[in-house]
Amino acid sequence: MNNYKFFILYGGPTREAEVSIKTARYVVEHFPYELQGLLFLDDNLLIHKHVSNDIESSYDEMCQLSELRDCFNPEEKIYVFTASHGEFVEDGQIQQIFQDQSIKYNGCNAEVSNLCFDKYRTNERVSEIYPEIIPNQYGVSGYVSTGKDIVLKPKCAGSSVGVNLFNDAELNEYIAALDSQDDYLIQDQIKGIELTCGLIDGIGAVEVTEIEPHLEFYSFESKYDIGGSTHHLPIKSFDDSLKYKILAISEGIYSYLNCKDYARIDYIVDKDEEIYFLEINTLPGMTSTSLLPEQAKYIGLTDKEFLTKIIGNLE
């Protein structure tokens, strides 16, 4: 496409390394264009190039990430598909490095990625257009008991990473042991059914999946362990009117936050069918248990067509 050289990058200084490997395998298997290389990013931001486009193959040291563009002919157009997740690769840092080097990449720009990775700031922004869907949130420092069950989560972390549920009596002891209270937020715990909506540029909101976790809630383990949850597509507990409401809200959030290429937005719906926003994921997983690829197949896209939509028009 337009003489671009395509690479897939995975790894990086993230707690979600195993998920990154699974996503990279999926993307390599279904990538719609000729690949020039598979790149592994280590914790020191050194890039290693595999000797083949097989993730199990050996690799050789290539260059620092900040010097990636210098490894190629300056006339060559470079596109790097980031198949990684979590801190550094979702919070705008790697996006800014690519932007500084005029390298095309998948997903939101650096500014939007940084915003969406910060759950506290994202909640504040979403509340500007949909205040009724944001659960009450509080800073940890100086938190005053409300007597309600609560959710404690990192302000900045990958999808469902570090999320804990507490009753009010358990919370203070846990808070006292935190290294940095400023890195966490507290929200009222909403009891209900979790739903998720994928979005793809050129399509809009794709579908809504109902998630039945096999643990207490849709935790990191429930998302990525085989058998950790059951996905109901179409949703089974609500009628189409609620589904269409979530589709519309999701498109509103995606547009308002200036997201790009694709994303996934998670919600919880209580017994009164009130919808609450949980988080947005701007580099959602692509594994055998992942929701967005599943939704894309449901509406008739092949895996290659799905990735083609994400990459979009590079002219």
Distance CA 59, CA 230 (A): 37
**Residues in CB range of 177: below 8 A, 6 or more apart:** none
Total of domains in the chain: 3
91 shares its domain with 156: no
110 inside domain: no
116 inside domain: no
Q: Where in the sequence is the domain holding 40, given as residue range(s)?
A: 4-105
How do residues 6-17 score in pLDDT, each as one tens digit? Answer: 999 999 998 888
Q: The tokens 């937020």 sit on which residue?
A: 185
How do residues 163-215 score in pLDDT, each as one tens digit? Answer: 888 776 677 777 766 767 778 888 888 999 999 999 999 999 999 999 998 76
CATH at 218: 3.30.470.20
79 inside domain: yes
123 inside domain: no
Q: Which of 59, 82, 105 is the last residue of a domain?
A: 105
Tokens of 274: 């009130």
165 inside domain: yes
Distance CA 201, CA 171 (A): 41
69 shares its domain with 141: no
163 shares its domain with 266: no
How do residues 41-77 score in pLDDT, each as one tens digit? Answer: 999 999 999 999 999 999 988 899 999 999 888 889 9
198 shares its domain with 229: yes
169 shares its domain with 241: no
Confidence of residue 143 (pLDDT cuts 50, 70, 90): confident
pLDDT given at position 216: 58
pLDDT given at position 44: 93
Q: Which of 88, 105, 122 is the last residue of a domain?
A: 105
129 inside domain: no
pLDDT given at position 284: 94
117 inside domain: no
CATH at 59: 3.40.50.20
58 shares its domain with 95: yes
267 shares its domain with 301: yes
9 shares its domain with 88: yes
Q: Which of 105, 120, 154 is the last residue of a domain?
A: 105
151 shares its domain with 86: no
Confidence of residue 35 (pLDDT cuts 50, 70, 90): very high
227 shares its domain with 272: yes
74 shares its domain with 90: yes
42 shares its domain with 62: yes
Tokens of 45: 């931001």
Task: Reply yes or no on whether the pLDDT at 223 is more than 60.
Answer: no
Query: For 205-219, 248-262, 296-310, which range has the lowest pLDDT when averaged over its residues?
Result: 205-219
Confidence of residue 145 (pLDDT cuts 50, 70, 90): confident
77 inside domain: yes
